[in-house]
C-alpha cells in the first residue's frame, strides 16, 4: 500500500521490453552514463531481490531501474494501476411497434480501471512445461532480436515477474440480454 493510492492497487516492476544484446544490459545512472566499478569495469544490470545476484543476459526482460543503481530490487517496485472502476452501470433500450411487438435489451459496463491478465502471465512465462500461448513464438532467440517477449528459460531467470507487461485496461461494455415479445390480441365475440 502507498499513501494516496486506493485499496485494490497493483504494484510491480515497469516492463521496458527485452535486452536485445549484451551492451543493452550495461547499467546506467540517472544521466545515462555507464556505471563502473572502482577498477573501471562496467557494471551489468542485476536482479537482487533480496540478495539473489542474478545478472541479466541478452533476451531477458528489461525492468525500469527507478533509482538508477544497476540493481532491480524492491526499491524499483512502482504503482501500476487500480482495480477499482471509476464508473459502473447498466442501461436498457425498449422499442415497441404496433402495440403488439416489444424489444427489450440490457447492457452493463465498467470503465476507468485496470486488470492483471493472469492468463497471459501464465501462458507467456516459459518457466515450466505448462502450455504456452502462440505469442511465445515471437520470443527473443538471438542477439539483436527486437521483440517484447523475453527468451525461454526453464526454471531460471526473472522474465515472469509481476510487471506492467501484464496490466491492461479492464473497461468493457457487455450486451447482457434481449427479449422480443409479442402480445396476442384477445378478441371475444358475443353471439
pLDDT at 49: 63
What pLDDT is recorded for position 170?
94
Residues with Cβ within 8 Å of residue 24, at least 6 apart in sequence:
58, 62
Phi first, then psi, for residue 185 (nearest 5°) are -80, 140
**What is the SS3 assignment for the chain?**
CCCCCCCCEEEEECEEEECCCHHHHECECCCCCECECCCCCECECEECCCCCCEECCCCCEEECCCCCCCEECHHHCEEEEECCCCEEEEEEEEEEECCCEEEEEEEEEEECCEEECHHHHHHCCCCCCCCCCHHHHHCCCCCCCCCCCCCCCCCCCCCCCCEHHHEEECCEEEEEEEEEEECCCCCCCCC
Between CA 27 and CA 84 the distance in angstroms is: 36
Is residue 162 within 8 A of residue 116, CB to CB? The reply is: yes
The whole-number mean pLDDT for each consecutive block of 10 residues of the chain, a chain of 191 residues, reads 83 96 94 92 87 90 95 94 94 90 95 94 91 93 92 92 95 95 75 57
Residue 4: predicted pLDDT = 83
pLDDT value at residue 53: 79
What is the separation, in whole angstroms, between the first and last Cα of the chain? 81
The confidence score (pLDDT) of residue 191 equals 57
Q: Considering the entire predicted model, what is its pTM?
A: 0.82
pLDDT at 50: 62
Amino acid at each position: 500500500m502507498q499513501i494516496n493510492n486506493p485499496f485494490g492497487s497493483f504494484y510491480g516492476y515497469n516492463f521496458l521490453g527485452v535486452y536485445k544484446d549484451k551492451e543493452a544490459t550495461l547499467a546506467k545512472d540517472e544521466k545515462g552514463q555507464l556505471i563502473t566499478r572502482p577498477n573501471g569495469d562496467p557494471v551489468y544490470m542485476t536482479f537482487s531481490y533480496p540478495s539473489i545476484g542474478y545478472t541479466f543476459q541478452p533476451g531477458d526482460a528489461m525492468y525500469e531501474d527507478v533509482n538508477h543503481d544497476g540493481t532491480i530490487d524492491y526499491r524499483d517496485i512502482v504503482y501500476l494501476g487500480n482495480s477499482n472502476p471509476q464508473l459502473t452501470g447498466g442501461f436498457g433500450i425498449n422499442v415497441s411497434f404496433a402495440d403488439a411487438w416489444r424489444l427489450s435489451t440490457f447492457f452493463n459496463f465498467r470503465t476507468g480501471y485496470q486488470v492483471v491478465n493472469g492468463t497471459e502471465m501464465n501462458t507467456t512465462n516459459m518457466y515450466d512445461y505448462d502450455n504456452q500461448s502462440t505469442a511465445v513464438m515471437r520470443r527473443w532467440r538471438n542477439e539483436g532480436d527486437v521483440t517484447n517477449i523475453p527468451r525461454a528459460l526453464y526454471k531460471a531467470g526473472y522474465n515472469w515477474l509481476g510487471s506492467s507487461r501484464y496490466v491492461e485496461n479492464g473497461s468493457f461494455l457487455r450486451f447482457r440480454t434481449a427479449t422480443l415479445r409479442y402480445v396476442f390480441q384477445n378478441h371475444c365475440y358475443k353471439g
